[in-house]
C-alpha cells in the first residue's frame, strides 16, 4: 500500500528533538517494512494560545492545502491507498486527512488521538470540533495510550475501529548499548567527571515552559530531599527554559547536577546504558518515549503515574511509579530504588526482556500491517 503520512503537531523532519518527533519517525519506519510511506505535508496546525482567529486561519489554510493535494494526486494519477495522521487533539486538529480521504475515496487512519469534551465551547472550540469530526469519520484509530480510549471510544460506531498499539522503538539498537554498559559508563564518567562508584541518575527532557519545566521543578525539589545521599544527576536536554531549569537546581551543592545539553538520538543509548536510574516526574506526560528507550537500554525508571506512563513503565518490574507532581513521594521512590542495587539489577534485566518482547519495532510493524490491511479490506468490501 502507498500511505500518505501527516503529523499536524510536529513534522517528523523537525530539527527540534522530542518524543513526539521520535514516535512519528518510528511509525513511518514501522510501516515502511511492509508499505510505501510518504509525508504528505509539513503543515503545522497547532495553536497553543487558544486564539480563535488564528485557528480559523489555520483551518482555511488547511482546506487550501488539502484541495491542492487532491488536485495534484488526481491529475497525476498518484492517489495514495490510505491516509495516516499521527497525534491529533484540540490544539492540533487534522484539517487535511478527512477532506483528502473523502475526496479520494481512501481509508482514513489516525494514531494517538485524544478527545477532551471539556474543551467544547472554550478557547479551542474550533480545534475541538474539528477533532471530534475527524474521529467520527476515521476508518481506524490506533491508540498508543489506554487512557485516551475512554473519551474516543464513545464517538465510534464500532469498537473494532479502535485498535491498541503499544508504544515502540528499535529495541535491538538500545539493547546493544546495554551490552556495552561498562564501556559506556567509563566514557560518560570520564567525559563529565563523574565518580563511577556513585549512583548516576539520568533525566532526559526538553527544557521548555509548561509541563517539561514543571517536571524539572518537581525533580529539583525531590533531589534536594536526598541531599544526604550519594548521587550524581546527569541532565540531557536543552531549550528556551534552560535558565529556569538551572535556577531550580541552583540550591544544590555544586557538582551534583551536570548538564549534558542536547544529545543526538544516536548518542542517547550510551547515556541510558551508563546510568543507574532514569528519573522523570512525567507531569502530564503522554507516555514518554525517553522512558521507553531507557528501559530498552536496560535502565530502570522512576516516574510519576500519569497519562500513558503506566503503559510503558511496568511498576515494580521495570521501574517504580509514584503520585505525579509529588516531590516527597518521588524522592522516596528514588531513595528506595538506589538503596537496593540488587533490585535495580533485577529491574534492568526485566526491562530488557519485556521491551524486546512487547515494544519492539518489528512487533509494531506486524501489528500496523494487520490493522491497515484488515481495515482497508473491510472498507472496500
pLDDT digits (tens, 9 = 90+) for 162-195: 999 999 999 999 999 999 999 999 999 999 999 9
What Cα–Cα distance (Å) separates residue 111 from each residue in 63, 134, 317, 356? 21, 12, 28, 22
Alpha-carbon distance of 333 to 328, in angstroms, equals: 9
Q: What is the pLDDT of residue 16?
A: 86
Dihedral of the alpha carbons of 7, 287, 164, 87, in degrees to the nearest 10: -10
- What counts of helices (H) and strands (E) characterise the chain? 15, 12
pLDDT digits (tens, 9 = 90+) for 238-280: 999 999 999 999 999 889 999 999 999 899 999 999 999 999 9
- Give 68's contacts (C-beta < 8 A, 6+ positions apart): none
Are the beta carbons of 302 and 330 closer than 8 angstroms? yes
pTM: 0.92
Please give the average per-residue pLDDT across 142-155, as a whole number. Answer: 88
pLDDT surpasses 80 at 140: yes
- Residue 377 — very low, low, confident or very high, per pLDDT cuts 50/70/90? confident
Coil, helix or strand at residue 10:
coil
**Domains of the chain and any CATH numbers:** 2-168+360-380 (3.40.50.2000), 171-358 (3.40.50.2000)
Q: What φ, ψ does residue 236 adopt, rounded to 5°?
A: -110, 120
Alpha-carbon distance of 299 to 27, in angstroms, equals: 23
Looking at residue 250, what DSSP letter applies?
Answer: T
Alpha-carbon distance of 278 to 283, in angstroms, equals: 15
Count of Cβ atoms closer than 10 Å to residue 64 Cβ:
11
DSSP 14-53: -SS--HHHHHHHHHHHHHTTTSEEEE--------SS--HH
Please give the average per-residue pLDDT across 144-171, as a whole number. Answer: 89
Amino acid at each position: 500500500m502507498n500511505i500518505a503520512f501527516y503529523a499536524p503537531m510536529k513534522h517528523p523532519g523537525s530539527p527540534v528533538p522530542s518524543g513526539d518527533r521520535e514516535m512519528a519517525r518510528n511509525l513511518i519506519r514501522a510501516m515502511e517494512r511492509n508499505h510505501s510511506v510518504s509525508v504528505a505535508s509539513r503543515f503545522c496546525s497547532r495553536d497553543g494560545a487558544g486564539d480563535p482567529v488564528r485557528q480559523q486561519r489555520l483551518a482555511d489554510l488547511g482546506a487550501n492545502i488539502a484541495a491542492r493535494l487532491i488536485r495534484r494526486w488526481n491529475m497525476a494519477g498518484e492517489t495514495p491507498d490510505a491516509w495516516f495522521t499521527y497525534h491529533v487533539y484540540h490544539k492540533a486538529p487534522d484539517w487535511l486527512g478527512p477532506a483528502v480521504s473523502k475526496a479520494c475515496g481512501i481509508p482514513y487512519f489516525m494514531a494517538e488521538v485524544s478527545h477532551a469534551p471539556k474543551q467544547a465551547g472554550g478557547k479551542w472550540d474550533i480545534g475541538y470540533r474539528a477533532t471530534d469530526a475527524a474521529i467520527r469519520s476515521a476508518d481506524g484509530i490506533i491508540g498508543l495510550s489506554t487512557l485516551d480510549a475512554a473519551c474516543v471510544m464513545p464517538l465510534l460506531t464500532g469498537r473494532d475501529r479502535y485498535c491498541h498499539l503499544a508504544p515502540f522503538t528499535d529495541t535491538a539498537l538500545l539493547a546493544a548499548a546495554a551490552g556495552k554498559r561498562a564501556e559506556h559508563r567509563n566514557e560518560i564518567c570520564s567525559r563529565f567527571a563523574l565518580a563511577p562508584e556513585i549512583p548516576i541518575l539520568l533525566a532526559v527532557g526538553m527544557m521548555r515552559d509548561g509541563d517539561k519545566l514543571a517536571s524539572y521543578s518537581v525533580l529539583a525539589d525531590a533531589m534536594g530531599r536526598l541531599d544526604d545521599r550519594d548521587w550524581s544527576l546527569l541532565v540531557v536536554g536543552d531549550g528556551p527554559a534552560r535558565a529556569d531549569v538551572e535556577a531550580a537546581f541552583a540550591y544544590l551543592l555544586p557538582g551534583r547536577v551536570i548538564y549534558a545539553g542536547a544529545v543526538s538520538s544516536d548518542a542517547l543509548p550510551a547515556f541510558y546504558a551508563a546510568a543507574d536510574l532514569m528519573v522523570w516526574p512525567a507531569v502530564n506526560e503522554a507516555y514518554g518515549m525517553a522512558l521507553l528507550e531507557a528501559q530498552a537500554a536496560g535502565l530502570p525508571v522512576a516516574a510519576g503515574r500519569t497519562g500513558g506512563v503506566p503503559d510503558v513503565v511496568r511498576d515494580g518490574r521495570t521501574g517504580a511509579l509514584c503520585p505525579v507532581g509529588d516531590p516527597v513521594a518521588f524522592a522516596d521512590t528514588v531513595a528506595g530504588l538506589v538503596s537496593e542495587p540488587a533490585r535495580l539489577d533485577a529491574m534492568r534485566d526485566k526491562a530488557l526482556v519485556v521491551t524486546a518482547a512487547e515494544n519492539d519495532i518489528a512487533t509494531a510493524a506486524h501489528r500496523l500491517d494487520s490493522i491497515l490491511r484488515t481495515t482497508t479490506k473491510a472498507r472496500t468490501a
